[in-house]
Amino acid sequence: MTRQPSHPVKQAPAKAKSRDPVASGDRDAAQNRVAPHNYFFLEKYEAGVALRGTEVKSIREGKANLRDAYGLIKDGEAFLLNAHIGAYSHGSSNNHEALRTRKLLLHQEEIRKLTGKTQQKGLTLIPTRLYFRNGRVKCELAVARGKQDWDKRETERRREADKEARAAIARSRKA
């Protein structure tokens, strides 16, 4: 037989969502928005990034930019170059450099595959986004081939045609 409490028990109020959507992995910390316009993506890989503490905090604040960044395989290691991570607002004199070369953490088999692919003419490694997974910063790398001007125009034409088709379908549903 269970004993009844002598006074009513209060329910705890529902907790507000305290985690930042970037830190919890719900939203990307940084995206390279011009990459799909300038490159055809052939394959994508997920890599960890070796960072300093102030860099992680700065990424959480949204101060990362991948616009001019690219990946490089050298001596069996992968590196991220030209990725701009701004200075941490509450950092001290020990703050990080914004454009330093950062090491990418990949398995040896993935590095071998990427080495073979990037040695082919016209292929390069482009970081497409930075995001958090289980509290760690990850970088999505794409093996990409550069677009010519006529490729960009063709992509734009295709996008416009798809947009018009969707609009026509929506109009026909309303009628």
- CATH number of the structural domain spanning residue 140: 2.40.280.10
Query: What's the rounded mean pLDDT across residues 31-35?
Result: 88
Q: Which two tokens stand for residue 27?
A: 């939203």
Is there a domain that residue 167 lies in? no
Is there a domain that residue 74 lies in? yes
| Largest separation between any pair of C-alpha atoms in the chain | 80
pTM of the complete model: 0.74
**Spatial contact of 118 and 103, defined as CB atoms under 8 Å apart:** no
pLDDT band for position 37 (cuts 50, 70, 90):
confident
Averaged pLDDT of the chain: 85
**Domain containing residue 126:** 30-146
Is there a domain that residue 98 lies in? yes
pLDDT band for position 10 (cuts 50, 70, 90):
low
Residue 131 has pLDDT above 70, yes or no: yes
Query: What's the rounded mean pLDDT across residues 46-55?
Result: 88
Q: What is the pLDDT of residues 89-98, one digit of tens each?
A: 777 777 777 7
Name the residue among 59, 36, 39, 40 with its Cα closest to residue 49.
Answer: 59
Q: Which two tokens stand for residue 89?
A: 């607002």
Is there a domain that residue 140 lies in? yes
Is there a domain that residue 6 lies in? no
Give the helix ranges, DSSP H, for the chain.
Answer: 35-38, 53-60, 108-118, 149-174
Q: What is the pLDDT of residues 104-122, one digit of tens each?
A: 999 999 999 999 998 888 8
The pLDDT value given to residue 112? 92
- Residue 117 has, within 13 A of its CA and on its CB side, a CA count of 22
Domain count, the chain: 1
Is there a domain that residue 75 lies in? yes
